């Protein structure tokens, strides 16, 4: 199901109205269909809202530009987070949704983290799979009680545990209810990621 909004996206209505809607944010090279199966698995019955990133890197969709691996264009992070917050507001009105919980992987986890810090009203919580710190000087945000799960891979050569540590500290300082897990994994997702995400989204 699709309605014409600012981002190309997929939408699946809720089968279980008790579950909060899920905002699915893909990694580099993914698209609006990439995480639908994951969303159905970890939050069965939830409404699924899955936009496509609007930046292309060598033909691969992303949610913001980067200068190199691990070096983000922070001005673009800020601009794209504002665009995505606008899309969420559009989609909530178009589809009659409550504030969603973000489920982001890699680049999608990074833009979800930026949303939490720059537009905290846009999300009801987040599950960040293989995130990195998106902003070197994040603004003060009021995330009092907002649940955030971050899952890192101990052998991840891209989103290293050290690269996420400042984000964990910033989210905690902003009042979020943070849980950070590090799995014996690389950058790819494992069954343990799905288990942790499912537990977090079950409330």
Give the distance, in angstroms, between the CA of residue 74 and the centroid of all CA atoms in the same chain. Answer: 17
Q: What phi, psi does 51 have (nearest 5°)?
A: -85, 160
CA distance 4 to 51: 12
Q: Are strands 48-51 and 9-12 parallel, antiparallel or unpaired?
A: antiparallel
CA distance 65 to 76: 6
Residue where the block lists tokens 């983000």? 72
Q: Label residue 49 exposed, middle or buried (CB < 10 Å: 0-12, 13-18, 19+).
A: buried
Cβ atoms 4, 83 nearer than 8 A: no
Q: Label residue 117 exposed, middle or buried (CB < 10 Å: 0-12, 13-18, 19+).
A: buried
Q: Which residues are known to be catalytic?
A: 106, 156, 187
């Amino acid at each position: 199901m699709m309605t014409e909004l600012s981002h190309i996206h997929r939408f699946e209505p809720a089968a279980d109205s008790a579950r909060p809607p899920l905002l699915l944010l893909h990694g580099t090279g993914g698209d609006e269909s990439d995480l639908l199966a994951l969303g159905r698995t970890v939050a069965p019955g939830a409404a699924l809202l899955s936009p496509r990133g609007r930046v292309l890197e060598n033909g691969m969709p992303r949610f913001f530009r980067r200068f190199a691996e691990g070096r983000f264009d922070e001005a673009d992070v800020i601009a794209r987070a504002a665009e995505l917050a606008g899309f969420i507001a559009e989609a909530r009105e178009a589809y009659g949704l409550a504030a969603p919980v973000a489920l982001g992987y890699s680049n999608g986890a990074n833009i979800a983290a930026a949303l939490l810090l720059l537009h905290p009203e846009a999300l009801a919580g987040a599950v960040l799979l293989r995130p990195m710190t998106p902003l070197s000087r994040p603004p003060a945000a009021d995330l009092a009680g907002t649940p955030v799960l971050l899952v890192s891979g101990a052998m991840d050569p891209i989103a290293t545990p050290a690269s996420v540590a400042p984000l964990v500290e910033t989210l905690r300082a902003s009042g979020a209810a943070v849980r950070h897990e590090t799995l014996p994994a690389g950058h790819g997702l494992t069954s343990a990621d799905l288990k942790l995400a499912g537990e977090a989204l079950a409330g």
